[in-house]
Structure 1
Amino acid sequence: MRKLAAVPRAVWLGQTDAAEAARTASAALEAAARQDAVPVFVTDHIPLRACNEDGGAADSADYLAWIDALASAVGDRRAVFVLEPNSLAELPGSPDCSLGDAADQRARLRMLASAVKRLGALPNTAVYLDGSLDGWPSPEVTATRLVDAGIAGADGFYLNVSGYQKTDQLVAYGTRLAACVTTKSSARGRACADAGTDAGTAGLPHFVIDTSRNGKGEWTPPAGRYKDPQDWCNPPGRGAGVRPTTHTGSALVDAYLWVRPAGMSDDRCDRGEGGPTDPVYGVVPPYGGTWWPELALQRAKNAVPPL
């Protein structure tokens, strides 16, 4: 657990009060400067966050004022921003979010584009938008949403913040998605050509990958064991992955990062059985976003490569 805790990880900013979020960011920036390090910030405050009526800022004005407070706190210091996990995968008014309508969808895209513009205008920041996972949603849909959210002004997109997909799979998928983004940027409605290797990547958007929980890859539930396996939710036997680095060996992958804490509960999962107990673990798991020490220990022990 001490080794797990020693790995550099992102700082999540979801405080509802802009001044508090700015203070948290400033403290992290000061600590990073003492180590000659670059902090990675995750903003988690957009309205209808996680497709929840009670999540995030009250409206666009509130959200952008919050972003402005962060921008002022960062100033000319070095920082990386991972903007709003699942904000494009769970787009309001889309099949993956039952809340909101077309107007909320347009507002979400405008807010993200404005956040990219405001944070990206700082002299020493890098900003990445939600590229989600391989298969959720399709690369064509994701590419269109990235274009609409202002990826042209960002440094790229991020992958796997909500998942457990293996790194090599994500490098290949991210390369295809980058090519698709370029296609959609130049001709909306045009089908994306496949691009499965790093060959000919000049001009394509870059990306980063969350490797905090993907050392063992995704979980394959036992066939017929559970009514609804919920394979995305606290899958057992997973392990922490490659440590954060900018030495990725890929022309398009700027960094491997630990974005989502390895021991954070995804949610209370019942695998379709009903009741509060998760039959995989035999206990009532913590609510989503809560630190679960036993889960963290399991993932520390199963880390690939070992901690």
Structure 2
Amino acid sequence: MYGSRGAGAMSTRRASAVALGAALLLAGCSSSGDGDGKDEKAGARITQQPKEADPFWVNPDGNAARQVAALEESGEKDRAEQIRKIAQQPTGEWISPENPEEQARGFTEAADEAGRTALLVLYNIPHRDCGQYSGGGAADGDAYRDFIDAVAKGIGDRSATVVLEPDAVLHLVDGCTPEQFHEERYDLLKGAVAKLSALKNTKVYLDAGNAGWGNPDQIFEPLKWAGIDQADGFSVNVSNFYTTEDSIAYGKELSAKVGGKHFVIDTSRNGNGPYTEGDPGERWCNPPGRALGETPTTKTADPLVDAYLWVKRPGESDGECKGGPKAGEWWPEYALKLAQG
């Protein structure tokens, strides 16, 4: 309801494509990188920023990169250059329930070979998204623990930044998740934070909603119950559109209530701020007139903000609303509009 995670609802076909992409990268299609900003993929000419400002890995076989290659092949150079604005930025790799260990290993190994950090998103908590466009998740608590164990094994000692369970705590607070699931969810989140934080080179950010849903007084205690003390920090604005300025203000107020924890902001689609027309309950879903936000970087406007990230992959649908395809599916027309601003 408050910015549900379209990109996390991966179909079997989508999950297979991601796993295959990671395998291809490891087979020799991955970019090589020495931090000089010259990582490339032949054909689509995908490059990324110098490592000093942006240490995160760009997937050269992502949806945007493939669209760039297709547009260039068909002679649509202007459109290719627009989509390249997305393809050249690191975005979150949403780990699906199918073969999570293989996916986590593939992405982190490819990132490691490029001298970068993999940005991973885990979105598989049982009863997620309250049955909306991205409903689903692990079948039960044991299945979720197995999922987390598999992801942790796949990451190993390689460098990773993990955004943990968008909306999972928020939906405990806003009444969306039924009361009978609350105790288990807190236990699962706390266990996931502990497991992933114990990895040698992994940072964990527990999701904490966005600047538009309520206020920090409502969520700081639930975050503590969910294990924020063991996490590196929290994430805000995932898959949403609130401005960076508003997100910083929200994050700083919340940080003061959870021991000064740092946070990261999803700036992927917040260039024009939130959509304010139409049904308030649907404003988060594929809103028109939006734009790409600040590009991913660790050089932020506030010392409490560890990074601006593109957690949501711009161009992937939020769900079957406003003419969009299923949640998580690539929508070329929407990607182009975001890039054009």
Q: What is the root-mean-square deviation in Å for CA atoms of aligned residues?
A: 1.7
The answer to whether structure 1 residue 58 and structure 2 residue 153 are counterparts is no
Query: How many matched pairs?
Result: 257
Q: Alpha-carbon deviation of 1:220? A: 2.6
Is the aligned partner of 1:139 residue 2:216? yes
Q: Determine if contact 2:100/2:154 at 8 Å carries over to the other structure.
A: no
Report if the CA contact (8 A) 1:13-1:42 is conserved: yes
Q: Does 1:67 align with 2:148?
A: yes
Instruction: Report 1:106-255 matches (<5 A).
Output: 106-182=183-259, 204-221=260-277, 226=278, 230-255=282-307
Structure 1 residue 292 and structure 2 residue 331: aligned?
yes
Partners in 2 of 1:123 and 1:63 — Cα distance?
22
User: Which is bigger in relative contact order (C-alpha 8 A, separation at least 6)?
Assistant: 2
- How big is the shift at 1:100? 2.6
Contact residue 243 and residue 256 of structure 1 kept, 8 A: yes
Conservation of the 8 A alpha-carbon contact between 1:245 and 1:255? yes
Q: 2:160 matched to 1:79?
A: yes
TM (norm. structure 1) is 0.80
Structure 2's unaligned 5+ residue stretches are: 1-82
2:112 corresponds, among 33, 38, 41, to: 33
- Aligned identity (percent) is 44
How far has the Cα of 1:142 moved from its partner? 1.3
TM-score (norm 2): 0.72
Q: Residue 123 of structure 1: CA displacement?
A: 1.1
Q: Provide the C-alpha distance between the structure 1 equivalents of 2:130 and 2:114, rounded to a whole number of angstroms.
A: 37
Could you report, residue by residue, the CA deviation over 1:103-158 in whole angstroms, capped at 9, with x for unpaired residues? 31011011000000000001111001111111323311111111110000000100
Cα 1:229–1:147, aligned 2, differ >3 Å: closer, same or farther? closer
Report the AA paired with residue 112 of structure 2.
A
SS of 2:293 mapped into structure 1: coil
Partner residue, 2:79: none
- Asked whether the 8 Å contact 1:159–1:210 carries over to 2, the reply is yes
Q: 2:204 touches 2:233 (CA, 8 Å); kept in 1?
A: yes
Aligned partners of 1:257 and 1:77: how far apart in 2?
A: 19
**2:305 matches 1:258:** no
Match of 1:42 in 2: 121
Alignment match, 1:200: none
CA drift of 1:289 comes to 2.2
| Alignment correspondent of 1:192 | none
Structure 1 gaps of 5+ residues are 183-203, 270-277, 279-283, 303-307
1:30 and 1:75 map into 2 onto residues whose CA distance is: 10
Match of 1:12 among 94, 97, 119: 94
